Structure 1
Amino acid sequence: MNFPTHIVAVAGLIINDDKKILLVKNPISGWEFPGGQVENGENLIEALKREIEEESGAIANIDSLVGVYSNVQSYMGWDGVSYTPTKVILDFIGRYVGGDLHTSDESIEVGWFEKENVLQIIENENLKDRARDMLEFHGKVIYRVYETKPVYSVKSERYI
């Protein structure tokens, strides 16, 4: 039996006391909310806190699960050699509790942005949809299935 291969990733919309939203600018995909892959043996919350701190310097508490997403398409990775497997992504809302913002290998800029500007700043359509889910979260978790290549297309979605 062959075991399936998936990437499990987490991301978070982090809000400070001034109600501003933390965004990081990825050198490839542009402005996005911090997050990344869950490492072997790591739980989801620990992974998200680690990714937020690594990418931005911010320390955050994680509150609510907002969405579960399946990017069901495998495609050629950035290296042009290996394939990126399908992904399961979990998005959360969190609160900034400390730390000094800084850039990293994964973020060429980091900043706090007004809530009403976030959807104009994020250019990637699937990230924009996920950001909208987090910005408009009202207690029901969304599950969305999509593909990103050649263009972003939603296959299904529902609240769970």
Structure 2
Amino acid sequence: MAKRIDFYDDPGAPAPNSLVPSVNVIVTNPAGDILMIRRTDNDNWAVPGGAIDLGESIPAAAIRETVEETGITCEITGLVGTYSDPRHVILYTSDGEARQEFSIVLTGRPLRGEPTPSDESREVRWIPRDEVAGLPMDRSMRMRIEHYLTGVGLPHIG
């Protein structure tokens, strides 16, 4: 199975060979729970997201990725920040792509649908805010969610 391996400030990381604009969405329900997926490629928890396709707007990509990975259709409500740290490199073992981080993180609210796993998500759940910190996830995803939860200095530009 193809894997995703995240490196941060690691001298053993592969040199980046691509930069792909992507989006993540922090979707919250009326109770304040966060829509999260357990990724199939690294078994970490994350908020939905992925690459922005040519001819697609940022909000359209965010909505598409969320429904593809979770079964939930959302509307976009705001901006958490931008994340483009060149010290964060993501290796995809399926094709050797070593991607430099480039993500725009948005907020959203659910409109319809039920949490449903996909090829990219082995599990999809609404996670109460106070349980998010205890989940296994990459440091960059944790930082994005913490920025949202604390609300300090938003939008984050980095």
Deviation at 1:88, TM superposition (A): 1.6
User: What's the counterpart of residue 4 of structure 2?
Assistant: none
- Gapped regions of structure 1 (runs ≥ 5): 145-160
| Per-residue CA distance 1:84-129 (angstroms, 9 max, x = gap) | 2323210011111111221100000000111111122142111101
Task: Report the alpha carbon displacement of residue 78 of structure 1 after superposing the two structures with TM.
Answer: 2.5
Query: CA offset at residue 20 of structure 1?
Result: 1.1
Question: Are residues 1:6 and 2:56 paired?
Answer: no
Partner of 1:95: 109
Q: Mind listing any 5+ residue stretches in structure 2 that lack a counterpart?
A: 1-16
Return the alpha-carbon distance in structure 2 between the equivalents of residues 48 and 72 of structure 1.
22
Answer whether contact 2:90 2:101 (CA < 8 A) is retained.
Answer: no
**Larger RCO: Structure 1 or Structure 2 (Cα < 8 Å, ≥ 6 residues apart)?**
2
Deviates more, 1:113-122 or 1:7-16: 113-122
* Residue-by-residue CA offset, 1:5-25 (whole Å, 9 max, x unaligned): 521010011011222110000
Calculate the TM-score normalised by the size of structure 1. Answer: 0.79
Amino acid at match of 1:17: P
Identity over the aligned pairs, expressed in percent?
26
TM-score under structure 2 normalisation? 0.80
In structure 2, do the counterparts of structure 1 residues 112 and 86 end up closer, same or farther at CA, with 3 Å as the change threshold? same
The answer to whether 1:123 aligns with 2:127 is no
Matched residue of 1:71: which SS?
Answer: coil
Alpha-carbon shift at residue 67 of structure 1 (Å): 0.9
For residues 23-61 of structure 1, give each alpha carbon's deviation from its aligned partner in whole angstroms, at most 9, with x where no partner exists: 000023311101111011111000000000000000111
Corresponding residue number in structure 2 for 1:85: 99
1:76 and 1:134 map into 2 onto residues whose CA distance is 22
Q: CA, structure 1 residues 51+80, in 2 after alignment: closer, same or farther (shift >3 Å)? A: closer
CA contact (8 A) 2:84 2:103 kept: yes
The correspondence for 1:19, drawn from 12, 23, 32, is: 32
Whether the 8 Å contact between 1:76 and 1:82 is mirrored in structure 2 is no
Counterpart CA distance in 2 for 1:74 and 1:126 is 8
**CA–CA distance in structure 1, aligned partners of residues 147 and 90 of structure 2:** 28
Do structure 1's residue 52 and structure 2's residue 71 form an aligned pair?
A: no
Contact 1:9 1:88 survives alignment (8 Å) = yes
Change (3 A) 1:63 1:86: same
